[in-house]
Amino acid sequence: MELLGLFNYWVFAVLLMVGFYAVIAKTNMVKKLLGLSIFQGAVFLLYITMDKVDGGTAPIIQPGVVDAIYSNPLPQVLILTAIVVGISTTALGLALIVRIYEAYGTIEEDETQRLDIE
Amino acid sequence: MSIASQLPALQIVVPLLVAPLTVLLRGSGLAWAAATAASAMAFAIAVALTLTALDGATISYDMGGWPAPYGIELRLDAFSALLLLLTTGASTLSLLGARDSIAELMGESREPLFYAAWLVALAGLCGIAITGDAFNVFVFMEISSLATYVLIAAGPDRRALTAAFKYLIMGTVGATFYLIGVGLVYMMTGTLNFADMEARLAEVDEVRPIVVAAGFITIGLALKAAIFPLHVWLPNAYSSAPNLVTVFIAACSTKVALYVLLRFDFFVFHGNLVGHAFQFSSFLAPLAVLGILVGSAVAVVESNVKRLLAYSSVAQLGYILLGASFGDLAGMTAAITLMFNHGLAKGALFMAIAALAMHTRGHTLADLSGAARQMPWTAAALVIAGASLIGIPGTAGFISKWLLLQAALQQGPLGVVAAVAVVAGSLAALAYVWRIIEPLYFGTAEGSTAGGSTAVYTATPPLLLLALWLAAGANVYFGLIPAVPVSLSELAAAELLGHLR
């Protein structure tokens, strides 16, 4: 059980680093944005993992059921908000990339920098 | 229930509700008028709230009627009042002056959308300053950031797009780091309310996740606040944004991120983590000093005026951080006063540049040559704001520099090093402000576009001049009668450091 509990956190850390690597190392703006989405997705996993209670179920009161163990619903609500924020960020980022492509004719970051210097 | 008791909620609700209405307003100037009125109303609310906070009172407002640790609490103390005053004031003054230059830049059809984004950004910044809930801060931070990316991307040339994209990437990474930190703290304490978190952290046995959380939160917010060496997004964003947008974001957006950083590190963590004060100052004080020196050095050689002032902002953020890293009452008071006074000085300077740029059409030092002859009032306001940035007596900048130097000299030998850095930074400020003033007054008009096929405005639009002089006047007023910001800062510093055990 201990290992299973930690497994999620390992996935969180690996995903976080995969996303972060893409953000830093890639020059293609769409790939950067993809990395950013993975990076944010990792954090969603962290929140979802921490709310799980062993043997817990969805926090809904049912008739005839007493002493049920519930998972903590709050982090799920928080992450629902964070997912919305993530989608807005991705949408805005993609919109910016479209405008950048129209203005520069490329979406490679190093090439846009070179074009600006010229 | 009287309307006065609803003021904390209205502070956010007014700009947030007017924003979608602004989109519907067609016709020249209507959207601008609505946005300016909403912003002025937010400023009036901030003034009313500040008057209560000046007595040392804390207002707690339960959002939706849910009591504090469970529901979202809006919490107004001296620190948040000062930030609200700065944010709404900067927004109102820059909106007041924005009409002509934004109308020219955006065209009538996109103008309403632009002002809507502006109000959303304002609502987000106010929300960060007033909320007492850690997750709420994240949401408001993203609301204001997303709107700010849009405002920056509206800049006149294509560099604005790449600058906005870079800011979007770095800002989101910063916000996500903050989110990880908040998650870890929530995991250990089960609460998101700042005050409740502070109380419950004392009972946590396993401190390692909290230390990790403190690291994530500090780095994430340092990215948002453009603390050296995480400042790389700032010069591009400031220099390519529309001029009046630069006024707004330069005056308040990094300060609001710094506000959250100080609130978390001092109000929540300081009393609960062993050695936190030492770690905070030994990690951030060197960065602050480097920020002062590098930012000032780059500003001294930079030839684009907006980039010059942006690098000066990097240096000024270093002063604020340096004051905070002393970790005592005097240092914190100086840091918080600096946040306010630098917002005043830098806002006024960027506004003067915006006014000059309507005539000169360019942002290099050469473009400014001789502009003072055509626009004497604008140039005079720039001199006052520049004096405040340097810290010349009689201006607001002097008060905060003086407080910072006093606090530094109480710190022993290392404090003297800090004081030397502050003085060196101020001398550099003298140099780079002079580099702006010299061509302005003594340059010949040749080399600029003054003869100008492109120059539409031969004088500053009256509303922009009014806003500029109000900003410059505030610099002088708070330099001569500094009671309000200084006493608010003292209260705020006592509140932040009051939890030391």
Dist. CA B289–CA B339, nearest whole Å: 17
Contacts of B381 (CB under 8 A, 6+ apart): B348, B351, B352, B468, B469, B471, B472
pLDDT at residue B452, rounded to an integer? 45
Of the candidates B282, B363, B293, B358, the one whose C-alpha atom is nearest the C-alpha of residue B325 is: B282
| Element holding B307 (H helix, E strand) | helix B305-325
pLDDT at residue B447, rounded to an integer? 47
Q: Touching check for A34 and chain B: CB below 8 Å? A: no
pLDDT at residue B456, rounded to an integer? 53
Dist. CA B445–CA B454, nearest whole Å: 15
Please list, residue by residue across A63-75, b when 16 or more beta carbons sit within 10 angstroms of its beta carbon and e when fewer do.
eeeeeeeebeebb
Q: Which of A72, A89, A94, A113 to mutate to test the interface with B (most CBs of B within 10 A)?
A: A89
Q: Touching check for B456 and chain A: CB below 8 Å? A: no
DSSP string, B52-91: HHTTT--EEEEGGG--TTTS-EEEE-HHHHHHHHHHHHHH
pLDDT at residue B453, rounded to an integer? 44
- How crowded is the C-beta side of B173, counted as CA atoms within 13 Å? 24
The length of chain B in residues reads 501
Contact B173 A104 (CB under 8 A): no
Of the candidates B159, B180, B156, the one whose C-alpha atom is nearest the C-alpha of residue B235 is: B159
Chain B: residue nearest A103 by CA? Answer: B158
Give residue A58's Cα distance to chain centre.
Answer: 23
Q: What is the DSSP letter of B273?
A: S
Tokens of B344: 């005043």
Q: Report the gap between the CA of B268 and the closest CA in chain A (Å).
A: 20
Q: Touching check for B304 and chain A: CB below 8 Å? A: no
In 10 A of CB B483, how many CB atoms?
9
Q: Touching check for A46 and chain B: CB below 8 Å? A: yes
Q: Are the C-beta atoms of residues B304 and B229 closer than 8 Å to each other?
A: no
pLDDT at residue B85, rounded to an integer? 92
ipTM: 0.93
User: For A40, which of B158, B164, B176 is closest by C-beta distance?
Assistant: B176
pLDDT at residue B455, rounded to an integer? 52
Q: Report the gap between the CA of B106 and the closest CA in chain A (Å).
A: 16
In sequence order, the β-bridge partners of residue B61 are B74
Q: Which long-range contacts (CB under 8 A, 24 or more apart) does B375-381 make?
A: B375/B459, B375/B460, B377/B460, B377/B465, B377/B469, B378/B352, B378/B460, B378/B465, B378/B468, B379/B352, B379/B440, B379/B441, B381/B348, B381/B351, B381/B352, B381/B468, B381/B469, B381/B471, B381/B472
Q: Are the C-beta atoms of residues A54 and A33 closer than 8 Å to each other?
A: no
Q: At what angle do helices B134-153 and B243-262 cross, to 10 degrees?
A: 160
For residue B168, give the amino acid letter.
Answer: L
Q: Are the C-beta atoms of residues A116 and B162 closer than 8 Å to each other?
A: yes
> Across the A/B interface, how many CB contacts are shorter than 8 Å?
70
Q: Are the C-beta atoms of residues A75 and A48 closer than 8 Å to each other?
A: yes
pLDDT in tens, A2-41: 666 678 888 899 999 999 999 999 999 999 999 999 999 9
Q: Are the C-beta atoms of residues B81 and B488 closer than 8 Å to each other?
A: yes
User: For A23, which of B138, B149, B173 is closest by C-beta distance?
Assistant: B173
pLDDT at residue B501, rounded to an integer? 39
Chain B: residue nearest A102 by CA? Answer: B158
Q: Touching check for B402 and chain A: CB below 8 Å? A: no
Contact A46 B142 (CB under 8 A): no
Q: Are the C-beta atoms of residues A16 and A39 closer than 8 Å to each other?
A: yes
The length of chain A in residues reads 118
The lowest-confidence range among A63-72, A87-96, B239-248, B483-492 is: A63-72
Backbone torsion region of residue B10, taken as left when φ is above 0, otherwise alpha when ψ lies between -120 and 50, otherwise beta? alpha
Tokens of B40: 């002025």
Q: Which residues of A touch B183 (CB under 8 A)?
A: 43, 46-47, 50, 75
Domains delineated in chain A: 2-51+69-117 (1.10.287.3510)
Q: Are the C-beta atoms of residues B105 and B160 closer than 8 Å to each other?
A: no
Q: Touching check for A91 and chain B: CB below 8 Å? A: no
Q: Touching check for B410 and chain A: CB below 8 Å? A: no
User: For B180, which of A43, A81, A116 is closest by C-beta distance?
Assistant: A43
Per-residue pLDDT of chain B (501 residues; tens, 9 = 90+): 577 788 888 899 999 999 999 988 887 788 899 999 999 999 999 999 998 888 877 888 888 888 878 888 898 888 999 999 999 999 999 999 888 888 888 877 888 899 999 999 999 999 999 998 999 999 999 999 999 999 999 988 888 999 999 999 999 999 999 999 999 999 888 888 888 888 888 888 888 888 899 999 999 999 999 998 888 899 999 999 998 999 999 988 899 999 999 988 888 888 777 788 888 888 888 899 999 999 999 999 988 889 999 999 999 999 999 998 888 888 899 999 999 999 999 999 999 998 888 877 777 888 888 777 788 888 899 999 999 999 888 899 899 999 999 998 888 888 888 899 999 999 999 999 999 888 888 877 654 444 444 555 566 788 888 888 999 999 999 988 888 888 888 888 888 887 543
3-state secondary structure of A63: coil
Tokens of B186: 């929530």
Q: Touching check for B477 and chain A: CB below 8 Å? A: no
Contacts of B257 (CB under 8 A, 6+ apart): B141, B174, B221, B224, B225, B226
Dist. CA B377–CA B388, nearest whole Å: 17
Q: Report the gap between the CA of B264 and the closest CA in chain A (Å).
A: 19
